[in-house]
Amino acid sequence: MPKANELKQGTAIEINGEPYVVKKIDVRNPTSRGATTLYKVRFTHMKTRQKLDETFKSDDMLKAADCSRCNVQFSYQDGDTYHFMNSETYEQYALSAEDLEGQTEYLSDGLEGIIMLLMDDAPLGIQLPTTITLQIVETPPSMKGSSATKRTKTAKLSTGLEVQVPEYIESGEMIKVNTETGEFSSRA
């Protein structure tokens, strides 16, 4: 049984006996003393695809949904459909761009470490690895004599995702990106 502060994008939760998957988490830290951190979570119903917004305190206990998980690898994209392959049985799964809301920019050919959520052998969604490695396609040139301050610049990655990187990073470099925050993590 996960607590609200342990939720990640793609986690399967049961609410009122119905299975939901976490799509987006917004953390709110109140400024008053003694106030607890609030987690505003957007869920999508696993079968009907209806949206549900709920707010939890950090220590609220939630019930994990009864669904199976398997390791998959991203294979390819065909229009708005994304195809995955089970790493053990080589079975193929397909999810639409709508099912992968907010996760498509992290998918690159051959990406492994993805967990597919299945209910009655039907794919419902994925959980991405915490960090992934992507190549920088376009970024302004690095500056000579850069200061020691933490200045950043925008970099466009091979999947179309744009992140802020330190100004010493150059085009063509491989970097690690945190999939939960969408931020630069380190050089690869």
Rounded Cα distance between 97 and 63, Å, is 27
Q: Are the C-beta atoms of 81 and 96 separated by less than 8 Å?
A: yes
Determine the 3-state secondary structure of 5 from DSSP: helix
CB-CB contact of 36 with 58 (8 Å)? yes
CB contact at 8 A, 82 and 126? no
For the record, the structure tokens of 167 come out as 């100004």
**Among candidate residues 77, 53, 60, the one with its CA nearest the CA of residue 159:** 77
- Per-residue confidence (pLDDT) for residue 137, from 0 to 100: 94
At 148 the pLDDT is: 57
Secondary structure E strands in 65-121? 68-78, 81-86, 92-96, 114-119
* Residue 162: per-residue pLDDT: 93
**96: its two tokens:** 């639409």
Confidence at residue 143, expressed as pLDDT on a 0 to 100 scale? 67
Q: What does the pLDDT look like over 157-184, one tens digit per residue?
A: 999 999 999 888 889 999 999 988 889 9
Q: For residue 186, how far is the Cα from the chain centroid?
A: 17
Dihedral over alpha carbons 57, 69, 71, 47 (to 10 degrees): -90
Per-residue confidence (pLDDT) for residue 28, from 0 to 100 = 84
The pLDDT score that the predictor gives to residue 65 is: 82
Q: How far is CA 137 from CA 18, 131, 174, in A?
A: 42, 18, 10
Domains of the chain: 4-64 (2.30.30.30), 68-127 (2.40.50.140), 131-187 (2.40.50.140)
For residues 102-128, give the mean pLDDT.
86
pLDDT in tens, 44-61: 887 787 889 999 888 888
User: What pLDDT is stored for residue 156 in this prediction?
Assistant: 94
SS3 1: coil
Query: First-to-last CA distance in the chain?
Result: 34
Q: pLDDT at position 84, please?
A: 94
Identify the pLDDT of residue 144: 65
Question: How many whole angstroms separate alpha carbon 135 and alpha carbon 179?
Answer: 15
The C-alpha atoms of residue 88 and residue 39 are separated, in whole angstroms, by 35
The pTM score is 0.74
pLDDT in tens, 68-114: 889 999 999 999 999 999 989 999 999 988 888 778 899 988 888 99
Span 11-18, average pLDDT: 86
Mean pLDDT over each residue of the chain, to the nearest integer: 86
